[in-house]
Chains A and B, each alone.
Chain A
């Protein structure tokens, strides 16, 4: 193979996700195979031992999620991959990771649901579950790439985000992106930014795992390196031990939610196209965004002033940014493979109704379906 062939590959989203995780420094995977995410586990079962990492197939998704929290507490970047039914089972421990601020990445390759639903067909119906699947007010970050290359980039960014903010990060893929083979130019390793969690340099004798600091993000200490501390899903104080003291409980909860609020401008990312003079705006994410781009390009050829707003980060949701757009745009169209989960958030942001294009029959929304709505609005 020539040098060029090594860098340009035909890859699926699942393969790109697995390779990118290794580039990000992920060295522990605990999971249970499930369509349409199984190739992520398949690739990592081969690749992780090659780079000195550990791959464990667990008995179920509850245990899978528990292993990645444990491995991460030992200082190893960790992830799991699943689909709807498995994602449901992971919710309890996702809450634990959020409460204990243990960095971890959960890949959810969405398929039709609820329940076992449509194992081999795509959907985008886990938007709300990704945000609110576990109980209680909690912090979580959710990202949604739309191409194989974006899957590569956003898997790396997911690790950077979870390491930086100590908030679990969910990568929402769907069957289309997971299984499409696409030309992929693999980026030079030296052009990739890798972020590691900030670690304490304090003596283990005085270290407190949740001590307040200016960043609101406590300094981490790896288990097994001489630091001994308590980790609990119970409401805890700066020492990590449970507390029922209302004042201390407030300190914890306000810091956990403030983390997401104060850093949201750094976390939120999106991409726009043709928005400068647009009167109609499509808001889309994941594989539906690909249909939307085609519809926008076809409409532009016909002289219709339509633009595109692609969400890369779904949660935190860019309410303010979309709200500011509302004065310029006369209609928002939201295509998604669910019955209107993101449409609802866009509607909140612009304080008005949106035009929904929904499909839940296991097929990707076609550009034609979106184009028809664009034409209806523009006349």
Chain B
């Protein structure tokens, strides 16, 4: 079977994980010409409950649309990290917000622990865009979707008037990882 890459973005409701997943899927499907699905799981609450957004990118038709062998897991809460880190593939990637996840799991995967929300607050000026900072990091870490495609998808998905803020957040996240891996 062909190429299939599974992302799971997890945390709490209100952290923008569903939007980040949609942008990632749209970048892959519309701007990079691959196939992609994005799905989510959420509780009855609008905010505060656990939230999970999953993206599958593939070069063929996507049958099963959920993530079961995760290639990249993003965790914004300790609870999500405890629950999902066991689903990461061998040699997969775990990206955690070190401001929220202090108990780092051990496993056969690469761990990137960065103060994502703090970066959003101090370097972008708004903690609200932590999701876009994380998206930049994910894009740089996985290289599954091109940077240009994600930028185009951001511009088509974020509210009018916030384009610059969101692109800036994305780039700061992207550069953090690129700088670290050099």
Chain A contact residues, CB within 8 Å of chain B: 1, 5, 8-10, 119-121, 176, 179-183, 287, 290-291, 293-294, 297-298, 301, 364, 366-368
Q: Does B98 contact A (CB under 8 A)?
A: no
- How far, in whole Å, are A364 and B68 apart by their CA atoms in the complex? 11
CB pair B63–A297 under 8 Å, yes or no, is yes
Q: Which positions in B face A, CB cutoff 8 Å?
A: 1, 21-22, 25-26, 29-30, 35-44, 62-66, 68, 156
A365, chain B: closest CB distance, angstroms:
9
Q: What are 16 A-to-B residue pairs whose CB atoms are below 8 Å?
A: A10-B22, A10-B29, A10-B30, A120-B42, A176-B39, A180-B37, A181-B37, A182-B37, A182-B62, A183-B36, A291-B64, A294-B63, A301-B1, A367-B63, A367-B64, A367-B68
Give the residue of B38, B65, B66, B68 whose beta carbon is less than 8 angstroms from that of A10: B38
Which chain B residues border A367 with CB–CB below 8 Å?
63-64, 68
Main secondary structure of the interface of B (DSSP, over half): mixed
Contacting pair B64 A183 (CB below 8 A): no
Report Cα–Cα, A10/B39, bound state, in Å: 12
In the bound assembly, the distance between CA atoms of A120 and B40 in angstroms comes to 10
Are A10 and B25 in touch, CB under 8 angstroms?
A: yes
Contact B35 A290 (CB under 8 A): no
A120 contacts B29, C-beta separation under 8 Å: no
A290 touches B29 (CB 8 A): no
Going nearest first, the 6 A-B pairs with the smallest beta carbon separation are: A183-B29, A181-B38, A293-B63, A294-B64, A294-B63, A180-B39
Alpha-carbon gap, A121 to B62, bound state (A): 21
Given the complex of chains A and B, what is the CA–CA distance between A235 and B26 in angstroms?
Answer: 53
CB neighbours (8 Å) of B1 from chain A are: 297-298, 301
Chain B residues whose C-beta falls within 8 Å of the C-beta of A119 in the assembled complex:
44
User: In the complex, what residues of A have CB within 8 A of residue B39's CB?
Assistant: 176, 179-181
Starting from the known contacts A10-B30, A120-B41, A366-B66, 5 additional A-B residue pairs (CB-CB under 8 Å) come to: A1-B156, A10-B22, A180-B38, A182-B38, A183-B35
Alpha-carbon separation in the docked complex, A367 to B63 (Å): 10
Alpha-carbon gap, A181 to B66, bound state (A) = 11
Q: Given the known A-B contacts A119-B44, A120-B43, A183-B36, are A10 and B63 also in contact in the complex, defined by CB atoms under 8 Å?
A: no
Residue from B30, B42, B63, B156 within 8 A of A183 (CB atoms) = B30
B51 to chain A, nearest CB (A): 11
Nearest CB in chain A to that of B157: its residue: A10
- The answer to whether B29 touches A8 (Cβ under 8 A) is yes
> Given A294-B63, A297-B1, does the pair A5, B30 have CB atoms closer than 8 Å?
yes
- The smallest C-beta distance from B66 to any residue of chain A, in angstroms, reads 6
Least CB distance from B73 to A in Å reads: 17
Chain B contacts for A9, CB-based, 8 A? 30
Which residues of A are found within 8 Å of B36, using beta-carbon distances?
10, 182-183
Query: Within the assembled complex, what's the spacing in Å between the Cα atoms of A179 and B65?
Result: 11
Please tell me if the beta carbons of B64 and A10 are within 8 angstroms of each other in the complex: no
Q: Using known A-B contacts A120-B43, A183-B29, A183-B30, determine if residue A290 contacts B64 with beta carbons closer than 8 Å.
A: yes
Most buried by A among B1, B36, B39, B44: B39
